[in-house]
A = this chain, B = another copy of it.
């Protein structure tokens, strides 16, 4: 079950002026579930995104990048679950283009004004006829107050949907930021993640919006791991419709940029952490903070080594303070000149290790007590600089194996 995470409540999700959402049951992989979403956005919105760095990236990722680069006025995003349309070669590219063409036809625009996304099983042909058949229903039931259904329609092995809203004032005008995301396994984002969609009715230029989504992604989705596998389909999109009436943000040094950036990053962080809390088979949520490094990069490298170690993750599943495994992971993280005698390891506020070994003050029962919690903080002080980084991860349980040994069946 998700770790300290409950399903969002539909009434808590705020519409974003200029965004309409419609879903359908298209039977892409399984019957009787929402598996197709069209997100229509108002003309003259700006859209920016970051995508997976996986070389086997999915056909829709390639097409979405192309269409963004073409610079036309983006009018809709179309997202299916049940099939990733990745590792599908030329046929997959054709399917992604047909999807865009069909949506464009329904909305009366050009295919280059549509961005396609897919998630699900890899290397199986997308059942394009089912997608096409489902599209008109998505348009027909489109409405602004539909973020909850949208979050449901993009789930794969997710147990609960992920969605959150925030509001802020920009120049006296109330602006809304609402986001949804999906993801539970194959989670180890590289430059982007899973599928995440955040929309605001603030007005932001294209270049400022790209900065904003990159920064938000680096501070949120790029700080999580479930199993160390980087997906073929990761994408985080940020949409600014400008329909709030707030002035256009054109300068990253402005107060408005910083305030909106903070709200977008907060929404992205809540969604990213929700993905880990709903990680496949997760029973524990761990925050791994590495401090005192010479660079944020080396801190993150060490945090990720700890966060993806199967031995560390199974020890947390067992609530067993076998914490030497954390030292081993720090040691093999690849930071060559690490002085291990300077390192301090804390579990919550308990000092576990220092001077190359177990701290004299450490008592097994203190470790045991903290390991029983469902939310646990691991803090590593390197003692060699002032940089820091945080990574969020979950434990590794029987259910992770069970879910992934039976995902297709």
Contact = CB atoms under 8 A, between A and B. Distances in A.
Interface in A340-394: 340-341, 353, 355-358
Contacts of A396: 310, 401
Interface stretch (A3-11, A53-61, A65-73): A53-61
B54 A324 contact: no
A325 interface: yes
A338 interface: yes
A56 B310 contact: no
B340 A56 contact: yes
B327 A122 contact: yes
Interface in A172-218: 185-186, 188, 190
B229 A358 contact: no
Contacts of A27: none
A328 B232 contact: yes
Q: What is the interface residue range for chain A against chain B?
A: 35 or more
Interface stretch (A12-20, A144-152, A311-319): A311-319
Which among A311, A329, A353, A355 has the highest number of chain B CB atoms within 10 Å?
Answer: A311
Given A123-B323, A328-B229, A357 B405 contact: no
A210 B55 CA distance: 39
A336 B330 CA distance: 26
Interface in A296-339: 308-311, 314-315, 317-318, 320, 322-325, 327-333, 335-336, 338
A118 to B, nearest CB: 12
Contacts of A310: 227-229, 310, 396, 400, 404
Contact of A357 (B87, B338, B402, B407): B87
A253 interface: no
Contact of A328 (B56, B311, B314, B400): B56
A333 to B, nearest CB: 8
A151 to B, nearest CB: 24
A88 interface: yes
A121 B356 contact: no
The A interface is mostly helix, strand or loop, or mixed, namely: loop
Contact of A335 (B55, B185, B190, B325): B55
A55 B90 CA distance: 46
A238 to B, nearest CB: 23
Interface string A143-169: 000000000000000000000000000
B328 A186 contact: yes
Interface string A80-97: 000010111111100000
Nearest to A314: B404
B309 A229 contact: yes
A230 interface: yes
Contacts of A309: 227-229
A401 B404 contact: no
A317 B402 CA distance: 10
A87 B333 CA distance: 15
A327 to B, nearest CB: 4
Given A56-B340, A397-B401, A398-B402, A356 B324 contact: no
Most B Cβ at <10 Å: residue of A308, A310, A358? A310
Interface of A: 53-57, 84, 86-92, 121-125, 185-186, 188, 190, 227-232, 308-311, 314-315, 317-318, 320, 322-325, 327-333, 335-336, 338, 340-341, 353, 355-358, 396-398, 400-402, 404-409
A-B pairs with lowest CB-CB distance, top 6 = A122-B324, A89-B357, A56-B331, A123-B324, A318-B405, A230-B332
Given A56-B328, A228-B309, A310-B310, 5 more contacts: A56-B330, A84-B324, A121-B324, A229-B309, A230-B328
